[in-house]
Structure 1
Amino acid sequence: MSTPWMSIPLVLIGAVLVVWGGSPAVAQIVAPYADQLDEEPGLVRGGQIIGMAERLLIYVFVLAEAPSAIGFLVTAKSLFRFGDVTGKQQRRHAEYIIIGTLVSFAYAVTLSYLVRWVLTVLV
């Protein structure tokens, strides 16, 4: 039988994998679409930092047994990022962001539930 102390390193390792490991995974999947964008809008690495923050929140929500809060995260992001999408280039940017967001969320949810499952087996 394991002790609760064993869960601390697992939670920390899980956070690192979810937050930082997700960036290369998402980048790999959206890379084929990046050449369809004329220029990079927004801050340098802004999307990556937003994605890391989102994955951290998803991780916390799942471990805190509040997965419904992920829906609020999706809603907030859609309100702030996809306001008025007009024109061909804005549509491409919006689709690129949506693809990245969905891949990032799927990655974070999957790994978060995997860590949660391992925690239930260990403790």
Structure 2
Amino acid sequence: MTAAVIALTAAGLVLAVVAFILPAGSVVEIVVSGFMLACLAADGIILLAGDGVTGWSEGWWNVLLLVSGALAVTGGGPLTTSVLALVDRKNTRSQSTQQAGEVLRGGALIGALERGAIYGSMVAGWPEGLAIVLAIKGLARYPELRSPDQPASVTPQAVAERFIIGTFTSVLWSVTCAGLLLSR
């Protein structure tokens, strides 16, 4: 069981790196992100079917800590852009969450930092860190979300939608990756 979980997590990390290199929102990125998500789901099923990480040696638990942490930070970006691309399938250009990315600059770096902080706080047994990260992000982005100076090509609703969908996807991904280690 230990080898299977670590192998699937490592495979998810490789897929995350591949998806990160692919063009954002492309069909190939969406498919690769789907396989990455499937690796994490398979990990969860294996851990739930067994005793979780109970009985794992500290060394293997530490390997899973590092690999799932890297997966949390790296995989969340492509997964988020894939979700946003799927949301945009039937939207007009002014409602596009991809266009809203013009307003919310730096989202990839902010998202990676957010996922790392959330993963770390959850693994450390400090779930309150999640609230602090989200509060900081919300306060920092508030001026951009409410700015009347947004480009005419983007609706304020699309900017808010991108922020909410991106944040929820990113947070759920990092919490799920942390959940592998907390399955005792």
TM-score using structure 1 length: 0.80
Q: Does 1:71 align with 2:131?
A: yes
CA distance in 2, matches of 1:3, 1:60: 20
Residue 103 of structure 2 is aligned with which of 28, 41, 53? 41
SS in 2 for 1:7: helix
CA distance in 2, matches of 1:81, 1:38: 13
Residue 93 of structure 1 is aligned with which of 159, 166, 183? 159
Matched-pair identity in %? 28
Residue 119 of structure 2 is aligned with which of 50, 54, 59? 59
1:81-120 Cα offsets, whole Å, 9 max, x none, are: 0236155723321221111011110111112112322xx4
Q: Does 1:80 align with 2:140?
A: yes
Task: Say what the alpha-carbon RMSD is for the aligned residues.
Answer: 2.3
1:14-70 Cα offsets, whole Å, 9 max, x none, are: 111101011111111011439522672354xx2111111111111100110001110
Larger relative contact order (C-alpha < 8 A, sep ≥ 6)?
Answer: 1
Q: Does 1:22 align with 2:84?
A: no
Contact 2:100 2:159 survives alignment (8 Å): no
Matched residue, 1:111 = 177
Contact 1:82 1:94 survives alignment (8 Å): no
Matched residue, 1:10 = 64
Q: Specify the structure having the higher radius of gyration (Cα).
A: 2
Counterparts in 2 of 1:2 and 1:94: CA distance versus 1, 3 Å? closer
Give structure 2 stretches of 5+ with no counterpart. 1-54, 149-153
CA distance in 1, matches of 2:160, 2:62: 38
CA distance in 2, matches of 1:66, 1:39: 31
Q: How many aligned positions are there?
A: 116
CA distance in 2, matches of 1:86, 1:50: 19
TM-score using structure 2 length: 0.56
Give structure 1 stretches of 5+ with no counterpart. none
